[in-house]
Amino acid sequence: MKIAIIGYGKMGKAVEAAVKTAQHEVVAIIDSAAAEATAEAISREALNGAEVAIDFTHPDSVISNIRKYAEAKVNAVIGTTGWYSELPEVEKIVSLGGIGLLYAGNFSVGVNTFYAVVAEAAKRLSSFGGFDVAIHETHHTGKADAPSGTAREIANTILANFGSKKKILLDNAEQPVKPDSLQISSSRVGKVVGIHEVTFDGESDTITLIHSGKNRMGYASGAVSAAQWLQGKHGVFTAKDWLGL
């Protein structure tokens, strides 16, 4: 494949390495600040014949980026999070543009397996009763959004499988947490790649499920694999479609 990398920060560099490992071709690196970039802004010319763009940029720019991919008829893999409230608009853009778009809060196969483990635990413990559940996530200080897209996906998984939880409570509560609220708290410290913890607490025992990212290559390799899967497809897809979960 001919791949354009959009955003040349730590994830962009990891994606470049993963593209080369998979023996695909990087035809464009687009970043407004990176000296190594081949262009500062997205355009048909800057995309340079790419078949797919892999985008790890910023929530504020992702919708505009997707419009440009649609105009250029270039498929897109979106790893940027924090924009999901705009999904209906994105679906329209993708449909009108006739492109394929795959988005995920996390492209790690391990994380997506973690979702399935959490779903099963939530389902079982909810049926037994007597358990409560909460989520905590930790990332590096440069992360643009909180909570992470991965934490939000974990929360949605729990809401779908843990009967007593009906809504999400973000960050630290300043009053007692209501039984129907699922709390997500966040920490930003140092250079942590990503840690997600789900705690199920009952009267007699506690179960803590943890996924800890060691480096960015799992995410980058997953994004390249998703780009391969997206070839020839039209519409909006998620990691569940890509991995068959």
Residues annotated catalytic, as ranges: 139, 143
Q: Are strands 195-202 and 206-212 parallel, antiparallel or unpaired?
A: antiparallel
For residue 26, the surrounding DSSP H or E stretch is strand 25-30
Angle at 32 between CA 27 and CA 35, to 5 degrees: 70
**Do residues 30 and 40 make contact, with C-beta atoms less than 8 angstroms apart?**
yes
Please state, as a whole number, how many other Cβ atoms lie within 10 Å of the Cβ of residue 141. Answer: 10
Closest to 7 measured CA to CA, from 66, 53, 71: 53
Closest to 47 measured CA to CA, from 66, 28, 64: 28
Closest to 184 measured CA to CA, from 220, 205, 160, 153: 153
CA–CA separation, 179 and 133 (whole Å): 10
Q: Are strands 100-103 and 235-238 parallel, antiparallel or unpaired?
A: parallel
